[in-house]
Structure 1
Amino acid sequence: GNPHNIDLHAVTGPGGGAASSNTAPGRRTQFTFKALNPGLYVYHCATAPVGEHVANGMYGLILVEPPGGLAPVEHEYYVMQSDFYTKGPHHEKGHQPFDMEKAVDEHPTYVVFNGAEGSLLGGKALKAKVGDRIRLFFGNAGP
């Protein structure tokens, strides 16, 4: 297995906590942090090769609300864009190994939202009624 850690963009200091969270295969690591600055932050595994870890879904979003919280809304949505870099052609069936060359060149085989193609289409579309207040959080895991 590979070592892992977590780079929390909400954390100030070197690597967003990555150095404090390095974890060897088969081991456990725990650390705490204070989220001092309100905002929406990406987190991801930051051990090499970072692109491969991100391409395998080791990322997400953390919302740090301001003191007193956010104003109420009817709908709150989180959308995360990410890229998949696979050795096989687009829509080839079966396991698709990671393609480092495509990742370095930033030529994704897939650009997806919330981890899947078509995740926000048809019956899965984000919906609101006229007059509804919505809050939309958008993150980009990137390559």
Structure 2
Amino acid sequence: MRPIPPGGELTYQFQAEHAGIWLYHCETAPMIQHVAMGMYGAVIIDPPTLDPVAASEVFVQSEFYLGPNGGVPTMSQLLAANPNLVVFNGYANQYRDAPIHVRVGQRIRLWVLDAGPNEPSAFHVVGAQFDTVFKEGAYQLVPGNAADGAAQELDLQPGEGGFVELTLTQPGTYTLTTHRLADAERGAMGSLIADP
């Protein structure tokens, strides 16, 4: 790692060896401040036998700490781990204001990554069940499992990721959120609309 001056660039190359959704982020000190200000992203490497789905979405959950006058947050704010906003894909409530439309009866894959820097995620779609859960490089749940089980949440610590799959069988509006409800109220909430 090395600092990159304004107008400079640095190219990284890597070989995709393992399936999953991977967080990349700035490592320049103070790392917590840079991650809190959005210096991160996601890389998805599909499992080799991943079946096709009708719709696939990516949600990167992260926190915003607003500094004085909307500027750079202080280290004390960041270390207190009390964010002003918790968001999906960089905007508070964006999927409440612009819901995601899917079709009833079609299989959906939702990739989720917790970019942090501090708060865990409890990704949940209200009124739906996940028949597939893939977390940190491994399937935790697959259709047709011996217990005929399903899940309602994908729990992630900062830096972790995975995906869930589901089929919405009834038309309507389904809230997607983190089930850390204080963080949902801070902006990590939206809607899936299942159209007939």
Cross-structure match for 1:34:
15
Identity %: 36
Return 5+ residue gaps in structure 2 as ranges.
118-196
Quick one: distance in 1 between partners of 2:99 and 2:75? Answer: 32
Cross-structure match for 2:51:
71
Return 5+ residue gaps in structure 1 as ranges.
1-18, 89-93
For the pair 1:136 / 2:110, whether they are aligned, the reply is yes
Quick one: distance in 2 between partners of 1:37 and 1:50? Answer: 25
For the pair 1:110 / 2:108, whether they are aligned, the reply is no
The alignment's TM-score, normalised by the length of structure 1, stands at 0.72
Q: Deviations over 1:3-26 (max 9, x none)?
A: xxxxxxxxxxxxxxxx3xx24314
After superposition, residues 33-112 of structure 1 pair within 5 angstroms as 33-67=14-48, 70-88=50-68, 95-112=70-87
Q: Specify which structure has the higher proportion of strand.
A: 2
Quick one: distance in 2 between partners of 1:42 and 1:125? Answer: 25
CA-based RMSD? 1.8
Length, aligned pairs only: 116
**SS of 1:28's equivalent?**
coil
Quick one: distance in 2 between partners of 1:30 and 1:87? Answer: 31
**SS of 1:121's equivalent?**
helix
Quick one: distance in 2 between partners of 1:32 and 1:87? Answer: 34
**SS of 2:52's equivalent?**
coil
Are the equivalent residues in 1 in contact too, given 2:19–2:45 (CA < 8 A)? yes
Read off the aligned partner of 1:135 and give its amino acid letter: R
User: How far 1:142 sits from its partner (Å)?
Assistant: 0.6
The alignment's TM-score, normalised by the length of structure 2, stands at 0.54
Are the equivalent residues in 2 in contact too, given 1:85–1:100 (CA < 8 A)? no
